Structure formats: structure tokens, C-alpha cells
Amino acid sequence: MGERYLGANIPKLGFGLMRLPQLSDESIDIEQVKKMVDAFMEAGFTYFDTAYVYGNGASELAAKAALIDRYPRESYQLATKLPVWDYTTPEDIRKMFETSMQRTQAGYFDFYLMHNVNRNNIADFDRLNVWDYVQDLKKQGLIKNAGFSFHDTAEMLDNLLTKHPYVDFVQLQINYIDWDSESVQSRKCYEVARKHHKPIIVMEPVKGGALAALSEEIQSMYKAVNPELSIPSWAVRFVASLDGLITVLSSMSSLEQMQDNLSYMKNFRPLTQEEYSTIAKAVNILNNIPTVPCTACKYCIDDCPQQINIPGIFKALNNYRIYQNISKESSRYQEATKEGGVAKDCLKCGICETHCPQHLEIRKLLQEASSVFDS
């Protein structure tokens, strides 16, 4: 692909606007986001990633307030995404694009993605002919590049890229713990994208924060190789060392996280052989602790009739599985469920499972959480 592929010149850290800092009333802390945007731009980074659904529109509005209103349009790249549900109509599609445009006032989107393409919604993307719709937007100059974010098997990705060879790029879940996993298939999906000569945007390099909070044993291993580097930096540098990337998205929630990311991505140094071997050892240890591979995307929550905070419960369950600290994790569980249903309120309707990009057996896992925390 050489240096001439789409996105070759884009710096390899992208600001994911999914988990922005919040005020006590849970609205986005725009002043804090502005500081983060300023630090990011000042360090030479330019890629911002939002979506129609993030924060019910609050993320696109935050992009306007903190970025679009404050920086020249040509000084950054903005990406947003178009979702579909089984009740979506062609009119909804058009309205969602227009709403994204209205919220952001960006004039055009540099990267426009069909959001979270997977086996459960591909028929809806096809039925609504979203493929042609976004190509049309591109012809009109309203978007510059059209692609999709993908959450399924490498085989499905191969079929899609064969059927739609005109897409400009793909966005994939890649991280070191899923590199060889059979569920997420990071490596296989990466190889398929490379085979089709599609540049790649990486999402969830730290697996929704899971690779930032590792056991003492793994943390000591990393610190022994390089005491200066943070634990999440290993995960981000692992993916940033791959070829053919447009950028690596990191969903940053604080200035502190932003500054940590900038500290090692500003003068990026690919992993050394010793660092790769250390990660391989960590993967080996982690693979022997079975945890729920929830990325905290929250796609499961909106339609849950009991409003159960599924990712919050899984976080407590995972920590309990690893550390067995029942009092600490019970507090986390209570905090996570204080505004909605608890695990034992699950009606087993299964709606959440149709939205889960990780194909988790949510009902079964909630039963396990209930037996740990609801007694």
C-alpha cells in the first residue's frame, strides 16, 4: 500500500468522542472537552470520531462546541456514523444524516460510516440501500470518504468487501487480547481488509478500558520492561504498530487520559521484539482468566424494558472474577444499578442480545451476576 493510501498522512491517534467527561448532572463537560481538543490539536493530531447515536446526539453537539466552532474546518478530519434498526425507513436515513449535519454544522464529513455492521443488521443496511445512499452523499461532496464500522467475522467482512469494492475504508475492533480470538477475530479481519487494500481505522484498542486495568502480575511485567509507560499505552502501541492504518481511535474521558496518550503517540515508536514478547506473555496470563468480553458500547441498554445497566454489571462481574473482592465489587455493582434494574430483574426477553456486537449471552451472564451480587 506504500505511503500513498487514504489516510497515510493522518496522525495515528484519533480522538473518540464516545465517552466524554461528564458533569455531576451527567451532561458533557464541554469546558473540559475544549481543553482536551486543544491539547490534542496542539500535539499535531487531527482525527475526531463521533456518531449519530453517541449520547443521543450530545457527542455530535460537543464536537461542534469544542472543535468545529473553534478550529478552521480544513485543520482536522471529522467522522460520524449512520445507524439502522429493523424499523428504520429510507426517510429516517435521510433525516439522520441531516441531523448529524445540523448538530455539527461541519459542512461535510471527512469520513462517514455505516455504524456497527454485523449479521443482525446487514439485511437492514441492504433493504434500505444505505450503500448507494452514502455513495450519493459522496458524489454531492457532503462526505469525503465512505466506509463502515464492523463487528463480525472475517468471512463476513470478506464477503462484504467483495460485494462492495468501492468502500474507501473499514473500521475494525483490534486489540492484542482479541488478535487471535475466535469471537472478535482481530487478526483475521485485519488481514481481510489488507487483502482488499482497504485502509483501516482501529477502534477499541484498549478493549473498552479492559486492557488498562490488569492484574498486578501483568502490570509488574510491563513496568519491568519500561517503567515510564502506562499500562494502556501497551495496548495502543500494539495496534499503532500495524501497517495500513488511517488512525487508532481512543475514547478519551479526561485530560489525564489524553495527556497519557499524547505522551507516547506524539513521537510514536513501534513495539520492539522484547515488547511484543512481553505482550504475548500477558495474553497468555489473561487468556487463563475468563472474563466477559464486553466493550461497554451500551448498544444493549436502550431497548431493555428493565433499563438494566448491563455493561456496568459486567464490569463488576469481571473484576470479581479476576480479583474476588466481593465488598469492593458489590459497591461497584450497587453504583452501576442505582438508576435501573438489577441483574435479577432481567425478564429474559433477549432483546439486548440482538444488539450486542460481541454476541454475548447476556441473559446467562446476568444470571451469574445475580447469584454473586443480588443475594
313 binds ligand SF4, rule: CB under 6 A: no
DSSP one-letter string for 87-144: T--HHHHHHHHHHHHHHH--SSEEEEEEEEE-TTTHHHHHHTTHHHHHHHHHHTTSEE
346 binds ligand SF4, rule: CB under 6 A: yes
348 binds ligand SF4, rule: CB under 6 A: yes
305 binds ligand SF4, rule: CB under 6 A: yes
- Residue choice 350, 361, 364, 371 for contact with ligand SF4 (CB under 6 A): 350
232-260 residues labelled b (16+ CB within 10 A) or e (exposed): bbbbbbbbbbbebbbbbbbbbbeeebbeb
- Nearer to ligand SF4 by Cβ, of 79 and 297: the residue is 297
| CB within 8 Å of 338: residues ≥ 6 apart | none
4 binds ligand SF4, rule: CB under 6 A: no
Check the CA dihedral 298-300-303-307 and report its sign: negative
How many residues of this chain bind ligand SF4 (CB under 6 A)? 27
172 binds ligand SF4, rule: CB under 6 A: no
Q: Please identify, among the stretches 79-87, 147-155, 251-259, 343-351, the one whose residues bind ligand SF4 according to the rule CB under 6 A.
A: 343-351
Are 237 and 264 within 8 A, CB to CB? Answer: yes
117 binds ligand SF4, rule: CB under 6 A: no
- Nearer to ligand SF4 by Cβ, of 136 and 302: the residue is 302
Amino acid at 134: V
Check the CA dihedral 291-296-297-301 and report its sign: positive
85 binds ligand SF4, rule: CB under 6 A: no
Site string for ligand SF4, 279-298 (x = CB under 6 A): ---------------xxxxx
Rounded Cα distance between 311 and 329, Å, is 14
Q: Please identify, among the stretches 27-35, 58-66, 219-227, 300-308, the one whose residues bind ligand SF4 according to the rule CB under 6 A.
A: 300-308
- Nearer to ligand SF4 by Cβ, of 165 and 305: the residue is 305
Nearest distance from residue 171's CB to ligand SF4, in Å? 16
115 binds ligand SF4, rule: CB under 6 A: no
The C-alpha cell at 183 is 469471537
10 binds ligand SF4, rule: CB under 6 A: no
- Residue choice 7, 14, 83, 311 for contact with ligand SF4 (CB under 6 A): 311
- Nearer to ligand SF4 by Cβ, of 62 and 360: the residue is 360
The C-alpha cell at 347 is 425478564
- Nearer to ligand SF4 by Cβ, of 285 and 349: the residue is 349
Rounded Cα distance between 35 and 258, Å, is 10
DSSP one-letter string for 251-278: E--SHHHHHHHHHHHTT--PPPHHHHHH
Nearest distance from residue 337's CB to ligand SF4, in Å? 12
| CB within 8 Å of 93: residues ≥ 6 apart | 82, 84, 128, 130, 133
Rounded Cα distance between 204 and 215, Å, is 20
- Nearer to ligand SF4 by Cβ, of 10 and 184: the residue is 184
- Nearer to ligand SF4 by Cβ, of 33 and 366: the residue is 366
Enumerate the β-bridge partners of residue 248. 202
Give residues in contact with ligand SF4 (CB under 6 A): 294-300, 304-306, 308, 310-311, 346-352, 355-356, 358, 360, 362-363, 366
